[in-house]
Amino acid sequence: MTTQQTSDAELAAQPAAYWTGVAYEALIAFTRARQADLGFTQPQFWLLRNLSKNDISPDGHGMTIPELRQAMSSYLRAEDDLETEAEVLLESGWLSRDGEGLLWITESGEEARLDIKRHAPEIRDRIHRGIDDADYVTALRVLQQMIRNTGSTLV
């Protein structure tokens, strides 16, 4: 499907599921490509975030790969291999593993998480280029209403 020279009436008749799927794939691919250019992967960042008491982790307690997979279940992609990604972070010294198999973020891992985090605004700015905040909010509210209209309790 294309939006070139498409009237508002024609756009209104197009399936939202198609366009949300296309948008999801395009945004994930763009984000992951920019992160790869910067030397890290999205799953590596998520591992650091989920283990940091200064971010997603409520207490900074170590977690196993299955626990991390469960914690990230709503946003992990099928191709994301947390064990492999964790090994890279272990080798870099950003994570450590204790005798019980729990992964812990290290001090250098926390510094890396903060360094990686500082790139998020530039990625967001590129994605949002030419879209004012009011239009973005409207788009999200429309999507949320569609989700509610399907009976989902996700929003």
Residue 34 to residues 13, 62, 73, 123: CA-CA distances in angstroms? 33, 29, 23, 7
Q: What is the mean pLDDT of residues 119-147?
A: 96
Over residues 49-65, the pLDDT tens digits come to: 999 999 999 898 999 99
User: What is the number of residues in the chain?
Assistant: 155
Q: What pLDDT is recorded for position 92?
A: 97
Question: pLDDT tier at 5 (50, 70, 90 boundaries)?
Answer: confident
Q: What CATH number matches the domain at 16-149, 3.20.10.10, 1.10.10.10, 1.10.287.110, 1.10.1060.10? A: 1.10.10.10
% of the chain exceeding 70 in pLDDT: 97
Number of Cβ within a 10 Å radius of residue 69 = 14
Q: Position of tokens 């508002």?
A: 8
Question: pLDDT tier at 142 (50, 70, 90 boundaries)?
Answer: very high
Assess contact for 18 and 83: CB atoms under 8 A: no
Is the model's pLDDT at 3 over the cut of 60?
Answer: no
Report the distance separating Cα 109 and Cα 112, nearest Å: 5
Over residues 76-91, the pLDDT tens digits come to: 999 999 999 999 999 9
95 forms beta bridges with 105
Q: What pLDDT is recorded for position 1?
A: 53
Q: What is the mean pLDDT of residues 125-153?
A: 96
Q: Using DSSP, state whether 19 is helix, strand or coil.
A: helix
CA atoms within 13 A on the CB side of 20: 10
Is the model's pLDDT at 140 over the cut of 60?
Answer: yes
Over residues 7-47, the pLDDT tens digits come to: 999 999 999 999 999 999 999 999 999 999 999 999 999 99
Domain boundaries, the chain: 16-149
Q: Report the candidate in 97, 56, 52, 94 with the shortest Cα–Cα distance to residue 74.
A: 56
Mean pLDDT of the chain: 94
- CA angle (52 as vertex; 100, 99 as ends), nearest 5: 10
